[in-house]
Amino acid sequence: MRLFLALVPPPALRRRFGELADTAHAHCSGRRVPDDNLHLTLAFLGEQPERQAEELADWLNGIRIAPGQWRLDRWGHFAGPGIVWIGGEPENPLVQLQQSLREKLEGLGIASQPRRFTPHITLLRRAEQPPGPSLPDFDEEWSYTRAALVLSEPTDQGSRYTPLAWSRM
């Protein structure tokens, strides 16, 4: 089972990110991430046996993450894979959260990626243009309280995500 830990935006914010994805797509082309898939990856766990998934679900059900607020106000670009993303200040509490989850996973004997974390939400993949100055300004605040363990499965229409478990509120 292909698994990752993520923060999932509440529906209204997800729709707002979807609008930004549409805007970015109009400027940069590429493959737009569908609204249902918009998320922040905290830890990519890769292929794990079902047994391990159950243990991870139990573990996450029993922990609380430090709740926080993430201000998103800038466009970003990973040139290699042509990823266009939105994010905020590079130094923010998500970095600490990601690091602490990575350490906890290590304690469970599970390696996770990435090692160097840039908090971001991917909007486009294989974009043909980088995000340029013609893209509009935005300023959104996301109050998050829990993390999800998500199953990623390939389908004809791309990856389908299913949350398997949540951390405590």
Interface mask toward ligand ATP for 104-143; x: CB under 6 A:
---------xx-------x--x------------------
Tokens describing residue 137:
């300004």
Which stretches of the chain are assigned E, i.e. beta strand? 2-7, 31-32, 40-47, 68-72, 74-78, 83-87, 121-125, 140-144, 148-155, 158-166
Of 44, 78, 138, 166, which one interacts with ligand ATP (CB under 6 A)? 44
Minimum distance from residue 134 beta carbon to ligand ATP (Å): 26
Kindly tell me which residue out of 41, 75, 85, 148 binds ligand ATP, with binding defined by CB under 6 A: 41
Phi (first) and psi of residue 85, to 5 degrees: -135, 170
Binding segment toward ligand ATP, per CB under 6 A, in 16-24, 61-69, 93-101, 151-159 = 151-159
Site for ligand ATP in 68-87 (CB under 6 A): none
Tokens of residue 123, six digits: 């909007």
d(CA 79, CA 61): 36
Give the whole-angstrom CA distance, residue 23 versus residue 58: 39
Residue 152 contacts ligand ATP per CB under 6 A: yes
| 17 counts as binding ligand ATP under rule CB under 6 A | no
Give the three-state DSSP class for 78. strand
Q: What amino acid positions are annotated as catalytic residues?
A: 39, 120
Residues that bind ligand ATP (CB under 6 A): 2, 4, 41, 44, 113-114, 122, 125, 152, 158-159
